Structure 1
Amino acid sequence: MDSTHHPARRHSARHLSAVALAAVLLGAALVTGSAQAEPDRSDAVAQVEQAFNAAAAANEEVNQLNSDIAATEAAIAALTTEIAGVQETYEQQRDALGEVIVQQQIDSPLGPTASLLASDSPTAFLEGLSAVQAFNATQAEALEAFSENADDLATRQAQLEQLKATLEADKANADAKKAEVQDAYEAAQAQLAALDASQRARFDSANASQVPNPAAAPSAFSGSAIDFALTQLGKPYRYGGTGPDSYDCSGLTQASFAAAGISIPRTARAQYQASTKVSMSDIQPGDLVFYGNMSHVAIYLGNGQIVEAPSTGGVVRVTSMRGNFTQAGRFG
C-alpha cells in the first residue's frame, strides 16, 4: 500500500531523516572539534621563519632610526657651532652701534641736524650737511647688516629647536620600536620552542650553512668583501649587531665592505639608495642583493649563493638565493 496513505509511516520516515541529519552534523562537529584541538602544523616551520623575519624587519627600522638620530645629533652640533659664530658677530655689531649712539648724544645732545641749523656760515652748513648724510648712510649700512644678522640668528635658532624636537621624536620612536623588536623576537623564540622534533629538524636543516662555492670576483675589492664575510661564518645573528662577534644583516654587509676599504651606510635601505643599481639578471659576486621591502640584505657569491646574517635567529651562513631578493646594488 502506498505510504502516502499511512501517516505513521510518513512520520517515521521524517524521524529517520532527522536522526540521520543529526548524525551527520554531530560527525562534522566532532571532526571540526578534533581539528581545533589538533591543528594542522604542516606550516609551523614557515610560520616560525615568518616570525623571525618580522622581528628582523622591525630591527632594520630601529637601525634606520638610530642612523637618523646620529645624523640629527651631528646637524645639531654643526648648527650650534654656526649659531655661536653668528651670535658673536651679532653682539659685536650691537655693541658698536650702541657706542656710536652714545657718543653721538654726548657730542650733540640735540643731534647733528640741530647744530647745523644754528650755524651762521652757509659754507659750514653745506659741509656739515654732507658730513651728516655720510654719517647717516654709514649708520644705515651698519643697521642693515645688524638687522640681517639678527634675522639669520633667529632663523638658525628656530632650526635648532626643530632639530631638537625631531631628535626627541626619533628617540621615542626608536625606544618603542626596540620594545617591538624584543617582543617579536621573544614570540618567535616561543614558536621555535613549540616545534616538535621533526619540525625543529626541518627548521635547522633549512637554516644550515651550505658549503661556499663562490664564483670568481670581478674585482679585488669585491673579492675582499666576500672573503671577509666568509670568515664570519658561524657567528651569531644579533639584532643591531655590527661585529666583530655578532651581526645583523646590514651590519654584516657594512663590515664586509669596510674590510674592503669602502664605507657604506648602516641600514639595508640606505645601502641600496647609496649603491649603483644593478638588474638582478646582471648581478656579479660582491653585489648586494635586497628584499623588495628593504628589510634584508646579503652579499651575492655567484653560482646562486649568498652569504648573509639571516633573519631567523641563526648564524652567519651561506645559502641559496631566495625569491624574496628582487633588488641589487653595487659598490666600488
Structure 2
Amino acid sequence: MRTTTAWQSSGTSTALRRTTIERRDLRADDIAVRIDFCGVCHSDLHALHGLVGKPTDGLVPGHEFTGTVTATGAEVTGFAVGDRVAVGTIVDSCGVCAMCAIGQENFCYTGLVTTYGAGTKGGWSREYVLREKFAYRLPDALDPAAAAPLMCAGITMWEPMRAAGIGPGSRVAVAGLGGLGHLGVKLAVALGAEVTVLSRTPEKAADARALGATDLLVTTDDDQLSAASGRFDLILDTIAARHDLSPLLRLVAFEGTLSVLGLPLETPVRLMELTFGRKNLSSSGTGGTRHTAELLEFCAEKGITADVEVLPSARVEEALTRLEKGDVRYRFVLDMSDLDQTN
C-alpha cells in the first residue's frame, strides 16, 4: 500500500485532524496524482454532519481537485508523469450498464464509486490513486486552483444546460449566487443565453451583472415574481437550504424545466404547479465522462473558471465554518502543498 497525508474527520465535527492514510498500490490502469488544489463544497459539509448517509468517522472529504501525475500503471496510455490533471466526484463505475455506455457514469446502475465515502478517501489529501478513465487532462489555459471547482460545481451546472439545449435565445435563471450559481451564470452566458439571477438579496445585483447576468429578480418581491411568470426556459436551482419549489415553478415557461441542484434535504412542491404549462421538474448528480471532458474544453476556449479564495489546507476548518455562514465569494479552494510540511 501507498501512504499519504490527509485531513480526516472524527464524528460529525468540522475540526479535522491531520493524519496518514493509505492508498492502494497502482493497478495496471491506475495513475497516482499529487493533489495541488481541492475545492470545498457544500456537500462536504453535509457529509461531515452525517446528512448524506456516508460514515463520518474517518471521512476524508474533497471531490473536486487538480494536480499532477506522479506515477502510472503498466497499461496507462492517456497520461504520463508530469501531466496536469483534474478529477471530479466519480472515480469508477461498472463500465457496462446503459448509463456507462453513453458516458453518464454518474448514473451508473451497479458499480458507481464516488471520490470519497464509498470505501474511498477524498481529495483533502496529498495523493490520490484512481483509474485513468476518470481523470481528465487539465487544459494549459486553465489556472489549476480556479479550475478545481469546475469538477463538481461546474459540471453540476453544465449537464442540465446541455440536456435542455441551452444556447442563443434561451432564457435561463439561476437561483442562488454561490459556488454553483456563479458558475451557472458564467456558463449560461457563454452559451449565449439571456441570464437572470434569482435572489432574496437585491444588493447582489451588481455582482450578478459583473458575472454576465442581465438582471436580478428579487424573490421576496411578489410584484417582480408575478411579472416574471412563465419567463424562463430553464431555472437552475442551486439553493442548499430547505425551500418551497412552487414559486420557482411559476416562473418556468411552457414545457420549461426547473432543475434542483443544491440538494436541499426537503423540497416541498405542489404537483399542480407542473400541470399548468406542462413543466418539468428535474435534478442531476454532477456529470459523466462525456460531459466533463466537454466542459473542460469549453471552459478553456471561453476562459471560464471559478471565482475562488485559496487557503492553505491547514485552514480547512475556517473554510468550513465560513462556508456554513455563506461567507465566501464564491468557492473555497485548499492549497494542499502544506501537507508536505513536517509537524
TM-score, structure 2 normalization: 0.21
- The structure number with the bigger radius of gyration is 1
TM-score, structure 1 normalization: 0.21
Higher helix share: 1
Higher strand share: 2
